[in-house]
A and B are shown apart, each in its own frame.
Chain A
Amino acid sequence: MEKTILLGNEALARGAYEAGVHVVASYPGTPSTEITETAAKFEEMHVEWAPNEKVALEVAIGAGVAGARSLSCMKHVGLNVAADPLFTAAYNGVNGGVVVVVADDFGCHSSQNEQDSRFYARSAGVPMLEPSTSQECKDFMKLAYELSEAYDELVIVRTNTRISHSRGIVELEARSEVLLREYKKDIQKYVSMPAMAKKLHVVQEGRLKRLAEDANTLPINRVEMNSKKMGVITSGIGYQYVKEALPDASVLKLGMAYPLPKKLIAEFAEQVEELYVIEEGEPFFEDQIKAMGLAVKGKELFTIQGEYSANMIKKAILGVDTPHLDAPAAPGRPPLLCAGCPHRAVFYVLHKLKKTVSGDIGCYTLGALAPLSAMDTTLCMGGSITMAHGMEMARGKDFAKNVVAVIGDSTFFHSGITGLINMKYNGATGTVIILDNRITAMTGHQDNPSTGRNAKGETAPAINIEALVRACGVEHIDVCDPFDLKEFTRIVKEATEREELSVIISRRPCALIVKQPEIPYEIGADCKNCGACLQIGCPAIERSGGKMIIAPERCNGCGLCTKVCAFGAIHASKEDK
């Protein structure tokens, strides 16, 4: 068998491929994005980027009803968006197997919260599998399709940053060509009206009970008996930390995080002197195990916050410290907008104009940080437009003259459109700036409905943002390259002063996809050392040895700095680096 090193996310895509999946629909989100990117490379599967996770999951569910094996992948907060179809599809069941991959992000590496997605499995009443390695990512994906079809239920596979973004050795197998299942009209199963739903809920409860019973003998719920002094119940990445920290302990590894194998847990508890639950996040296992009447230690020893580590477990359970140097107090290195980023110009202007900025999710959230410091709020995908509207409804038109919402192109498609319709419908006079950098940048440059390419990299129809905004009833639309600082400033002033809903489309491609000639700029003798160029927060500009310099290896030649220098001291250098 061929072995290779795969990222957990690549292994999940490979598992879908080998399982004979036909349709994949997702919205990008760190740490889940590479699953769908990898899936798109297999010719045998139809793979698409949807505008948001709700759309994506509904596409997958539709494909399942039509008899296909289908997949939808998202980050934890994406599952909030897709929760509506999830909860009812859980009643309906599937036809062809349907799997949702959700990737949590403890430690907030690239997210706005640390929510524990296991609760979705419990509240929707669907099984959830949790792999611990890249190999298991592939294997569990295949098992998920078997379970989905055997129990007629959607299955969630849950990972986190450390599973999705770690590489490990995986054995590859061939794809099983799975034929489409027959499609039969069945309104009792697929039309979710009250009369049907009541009956379906009974059916769902029955299959969940069967699943809970069968979980006791499911091979991925595995007991590894060692010393009987200490038993640990764990899953996912927690299993790896436990094996490293407590090699002598007996372990019950839960490959299925929900429903729990209660008999297996009770038997395991009986055999060990002391029982622990080690789980990152909420006491999800612990609370259920305590409800079984078992004595177990968990969150009194561990936090619900952040990531765990092997040494943290050694310390908490064994009281053993691993010797190491103290981490010295080092200045932080927050991420920042790249050299040449179009967003930098927008936030420079908004900062100068002292606007209250209702922000959104994307690279441009970095506009909140100094020196640009041009963001007041960021909540969730699409929240910029709606929160700005709420501010206006609370404090009136005059307040709205100082407020702008900023939202990226992909985020606007995701869930900004409905907010804009809401503004128009409810008489808002505010201003929305769509930061159209022609790509979904933060997650690693995925295409979206306006880029003219699809997930497979093929030419696709491009949705025209201006036309879409106009169709939402907006009469005042301006399109401007924000690097034209004067014109952009004039447009922002005019739009915010206007007592009517206005949209500005700030259009300039991401600096990482359309490269500048990369002739670096340099600061000449006319420099008065005033530091104005520092206010754009470019990573290439700094004060060194008492004077301003541009680091040539970091400058990308965008020239924005030349427009903020009052003395004309910044020039393109002659040499191409």
Chain B
Amino acid sequence: MKDTNILIVGVGGQGTLLASVLLGKLAMEQGYDVKLSEVHGMAQRGGSVVTHVRMSEGTVTAPVISEGDADIIVAFEMLEAYRWVSYLKPEGKMYVNTQQINPMPVIMGAAEYPADIREYLEKNVGEVTFMDALAIAEELGNVKAVNTVLLGALAKELPFTKEMWLDAIASTVKPRFVELNKAAFERGYTYR
């Protein structure tokens, strides 16, 4: 595997951290150098959040990805996909959850939620996959599984077997949520 830079973006509270923690663990176990960079504090309160994941067979230098250097962006929300798109390499890929969460300026009528995000991404991004991960999670009975659905989709891009992922999930999430998360992962993994 060549060096891989993954940006995970979303809204504070959506569970973007779980994906990066699982990813980091797997990468280390498989012998890669790995660095992850997170957001804590004020921005976590419903703000725009971004997690950087960098893996390498050699050495990872900076823990953060520069604009234009992400191989993959996983967006938990449409507007956040749009906001962070400049971080993607020209040939990079995106996985976008079609959920829309209006930020307060939009709720208050001071700004408009861009209507053409999907169109823009389809036109400008080499390869973009849209998925309604919220609907899938609701089907599985728990809206909090959105993050694992998206993780499943991302997993196909990475050099770890499905068994490795499922083991990592089993050893990270609370026991009563293991089955839910495995099912959510499976749905993301097999998403077309």
Contact = CB atoms under 8 A, between A and B. Distances in A.
A31 B38 CA distance: 11
A192 interface: no
Contacts of A162: 37, 62-64
A106 to B, nearest CB: 12
A322 B67 contact: yes
B158 interface: no
Given A5-B24, A244-B62, A324-B90, A165 B46 contact: no
Interface in A282-340: 307, 309-312, 322-328, 330-338
B67 A370 contact: no
B129 interface: no
Interface stretch (A82-90, A204-212, A389-397, A535-543): A535-543
Contact of A325 (B13, B20, B124): B124
A310 B128 CA distance: 26
B102 interface: yes
A530 to B, nearest CB: 14
A30 B41 contact: yes
A334 B68 contact: no
A575 interface: no
A331 B111 contact: yes
Given A30-B42, A337-B45, A534-B108, A327 B85 contact: yes
A7 B36 CA distance: 8
Given A31-B40, A166-B38, A311-B69, A332 B105 contact: yes
Interface SS, B side: mixed
Nearest to A134: B35
A166 B63 contact: yes
Contacts of A495: none
A33 B61 CA distance: 24
A17 interface: no
Interface string A101-115: 000000001100000
Interface string A133-176: 10000000000000000000000000000100111110000000
A521 interface: no
Nearest to B110: A370
A3 interface: yes
Given A133-B35, A311-B68, A331-B111, 15 more contacts: A7-B38, A109-B43, A167-B34, A168-B60, A169-B34, A307-B64, A309-B66, A310-B69, A324-B90, A330-B83, A333-B47, A333-B83, A335-B12, A335-B42, A554-B101
- Give the top 6 A-B pairs by smallest Cβ distance, nearest first: A110-B41, A324-B68, A30-B41, A166-B63, A335-B47, A331-B111
Interface of B: 11-13, 20-21, 24-25, 28, 33-48, 60-64, 66-69, 79-80, 82-83, 85-90, 101-108, 110-114, 120, 124-125, 134, 143
